Structures are given as structure tokens and as C-alpha cells.
Amino acid sequence: MASPPVRSRLAELAERHALPPDARGRLEALLDLVAAAPVSITAVRDAAEGVDVHVADSLVALELGPVRTASRVADLGSGGGFPGLALAIARPEARFALVESVQRKCAFLENAVAALRLTNVSIVNARAEAWGEGLDAHDLATVRAVAPLPVLVEYAAPLLEVGGALVAWKGRRHAGEEADGAAAAATLAMERPAPRRVNPFPGVGHRHLYVSLKVGSTPNGYPRRAGMARKRPIAASSGR
């Protein structure tokens, strides 16, 4: 069970982000589930640290319009449930598909969804680029701590409808990664990913959310077969 400081911090986050009345209890339960998981599904399992590193870091995306208004969300590489489960708790009126290729992590997510009684979440055990049913079906894709920016753009673009948005969590800005992300976006009918500096919790240091809107249809040849986005990422120098 969460400690009083964790509960107090959750209350602060609930007020900051205008969360639904039952969100604080569900977020507390989620932290307890992460701490009690029989296998390590995330590097940070202690609730006292996770309330900021996981929950606050996930919820800060609610400061962005596309996250506040989305109705069909694909969370890519969901892992231990952040940001996907945290945002699903915060936005019960939206539908969330948590896309995760590792079976043991999917098992944790399934158990968490059942324990938290979330009716707006489905679990997809697949790689993002191999999920055919998800193509052109979402108005938001979220992704945190998964891959370099050009890879994330390539994962997300085929899953988004025109006008949909990618929101990617990143730390310190890197000019080379941003240039490659822009090249991937140009190839995939997305806007250049724009960084927004955020402050989810005190002492976080450099934290940015990159936002990229889909402005046209996904070009022929995408998504490429599973693994190619990482093996041969689109780069500014090559355009492929």
C-alpha cells in the first residue's frame, strides 16, 4: 500500500491535471501493482520514486491539446504501463490500445487492466509495424523510452489518421536526432516533430515532449517489415 507521501503527491497531480474523482485511487493501485509484479517490468518499481518518474512524467502530456482531446489512442511499447495506463486512468472517455511485443509485459498489462477495472483499454501483443488492424485508426500515438525519434515517427505514422498526432517523450535535445526525425517526418507525411519542454516533477532536468501531426496519407511501402525501422532508420543524410 502506498505511503502517505505518495498519496499526497498523487493528490497534487490530481489537482494539477484536473483528474477524474477515481483517478487518484487507481493510480495508487497501479503503483502497487508495479511494485508487486513477480518479474521486473520496469527499472523503477518503488512507489515513492515511481509516483514522479512514471506517473507524473506520464500525466504531464495532458498539458498538450492533442492528448486532452484524443478519442482513439495507440500507446506504443507500453511496457509497465506508462504512459498508457496512467493516461487511460486520466481520460476514461478515450479508448486506449496498449501495443507491446513482449508477452510477459502484456501479461502484466492484462492483469493491471483487470485489477483496475479499466473498460477503455485493450492490449495488443504485437510490434507496432506489424499491427495491421491499427493502420489509420488513431488520432493519437504516444511513445515513451522506446527508440530514437526517426524510428518513433516511422512506428506511429501508419497507425494515425490524417490530422492525428504523435507525442514522444524525450530527455535532452540532440540536433542530429531532431534532424533525422524531421527527415522521417517528411518521408512519412508528418510535420517536423516540435519539442516542448515540460516539468513533470521537481529536479527532472531536461524533459521534452515532441509533437508531430500527420498531414497526408502514409506513402506506399510503409510500414516496412518488422525490424527495418531500427535496422535501417530514415536519416537526414540519406532520406531513407
What kind and span of H or E run contains 145? Answer: none
Q: Are strands 208-213 and 194-197 parallel, antiparallel or unpaired?
A: antiparallel
Mean pLDDT per 10-residue interval, the chain, length 240 residues: 90 98 97 89 88 97 98 96 98 98 96 98 97 98 94 98 98 96 98 97 93 98 95 78
Q: What is the pLDDT of residue 83?
A: 98
Give pLDDT tens digits for 64-117: 999 999 999 999 999 999 999 999 999 999 999 999 999 999 999 999 999 999
> What is the C-alpha separation between 159 and 136, in angstroms, rounded?
5
Report whether 200 contacts 56 (CB < 8 A). yes
Handedness of CA 6, 107, 41, 96 (dihedral sign): negative
For 69-81, give the secondary structure using H, E and C.
HCCEEEEECCCCC
Which domains occur in the chain, in start order? 64-231 (3.40.50.150)
Query: What's the pLDDT at 239?
Result: 46
pLDDT of residue 72: 98
